[in-house]
Amino acid sequence: MAQTADSLNSAIARAGEARKRAVDFESNAYFPGEWEAAENQYAELLAKNPGGEAISAYNKAADSFNRVFELAIPLYAQAREDEIMAIRGRLIELGARDSFREYMLLAEKTALLALDRYEAKDYYPARDAALYALQKFAVLETAFDAWLVRQELLERGFEGYDREDFDIGDDVIREAMEAYTGEDLETAQYKAERALSKYNAVLSNAWFYYAELRSALAEDERLAAIDIKADIAAREFFKTADSDNKTALGLMKTEQYKDAAKLFINAEVMFVIASKTTMEKRQIAADAIKNANRKILESHKIARNASINIRGGSK
């Protein structure tokens, strides 16, 4: 009897472990039909009092869960790999392989470890390694996004618009990468997010002030154009400039400062073109008048000389 009880307990434990493993690797999501059949079989066993055939029944239930697991594990592993590769691919596309090379290698090493463990059928350590690799790549994605914003600030000369937050961002991103290298990924993620937030705040403020500046410059050119009647003499150019300027002012109200700044620049350029076109037209007109006057004077001179010659000849 003791041996039978031990065998029964062992079969019950085996079925429970098989079910747990199948759940842990999301077998129920990948093969819901097969999972439901195994689950119903297991539920019926739990509802019954153990009988003479209970050991065999529990072993069959374990086998059912194991079959579902074996079907699901390649899909589960592939899904984790796809998640990792999606982030890795984006990072490589953005240039992280050059700028974040050593950090990328650390994450890739963890991903390869997960692959090796899956191939060795060491599933739980493989799952943990894959999730850890995914977490590493997620940290890198946030950190590299922050780095890209920082690069934009430097390239545009915007860092001076909010030097305090820019410097905080630098401090925090450095701390994030130190935490990442030290395998403290929670701290690394938090710090990377904070750095990204700081850099974005600087960029947002910079675009606001830059858009304000471009607005003022565009307005100066608009008034200068109106002052020389470019709105009449170069109507099409002025009309285009004025339309861009008004659209940009509307974007300012909805806090779309980057787009507004670009349109203000366009408007400024078109106002200048309108003014230049007007001045060129005036110069052409002035030259034409000058030439006409010269020709009139020459004509008068010719006529006067002819008259003198006629009078002289009549004598």
Report pLDDT digits (tens) over 135-173: 999 999 999 999 999 999 999 999 998 999 999 999 999
Q: Residue 19 above 70 pLDDT?
A: yes
- Once rounded to an integer, what is the mean pLDDT over residues 32-50? 79
Q: What is residue 291's predicted lDDT score, i.e. its pLDDT?
A: 73
Instruction: Quickly tell me which residue has 């073109």 as its tokens.
Output: 273
pLDDT-above-90 percentage for the chain? 69
Query: 28-62 burial by CB neighbour count: b if 16+ within 10 A, else e?
Result: bebbeebbeebbebbeebeeeebeeebbebbbbbb
Q: What is residue 142's predicted lDDT score, i.e. its pLDDT?
A: 97
Q: Residue 2 above 70 pLDDT?
A: no
Q: How far apart are CA 160 and CA 171, in angstroms?
A: 16
Tell me if 91 sits within 8 A of 111, measured CB to CB. Answer: no
283 — phi, psi (to 5°)? -65, -40
Q: What is residue 304's predicted lDDT score, i.e. its pLDDT?
A: 61
pLDDT digits (tens, 9 = 90+) for 262-305: 999 999 999 999 999 998 888 787 767 777 667 667 666 666 66
User: Of 156, 139, 155, 254, whose CA–CA distance to 196 is shortest?
Assistant: 139
Q: Residue 312 above 60 pLDDT?
A: no
**How many alpha carbons lie under 13 Å from residue 18 in its C-beta half-sphere?**
23
pLDDT digits (tens, 9 = 90+) for 175-232: 999 999 999 999 999 999 999 999 999 999 999 999 999 999 999 999 999 998 989 9
Tell me if 104 sits within 8 A of 97, measured CB to CB. Answer: yes
Q: Residue 243 above 60 pLDDT?
A: yes
Could you tell me the pTM of the whole model?
A: 0.77
User: Of 24, 26, 46, 28, whose CA–CA distance to 37 is shortest?
Assistant: 28
Q: What is residue 47's predicted lDDT score, i.e. its pLDDT?
A: 67
Poorest-pLDDT segment among 3-7, 83-87, 280-284: 3-7
More confident residue, 90 or 59: 90
Q: What is residue 306's predicted lDDT score, i.e. its pLDDT?
A: 59
Q: Residue 92 above 60 pLDDT?
A: yes
- Once rounded to an integer, what is the mean pLDDT over residues 63-76? 92
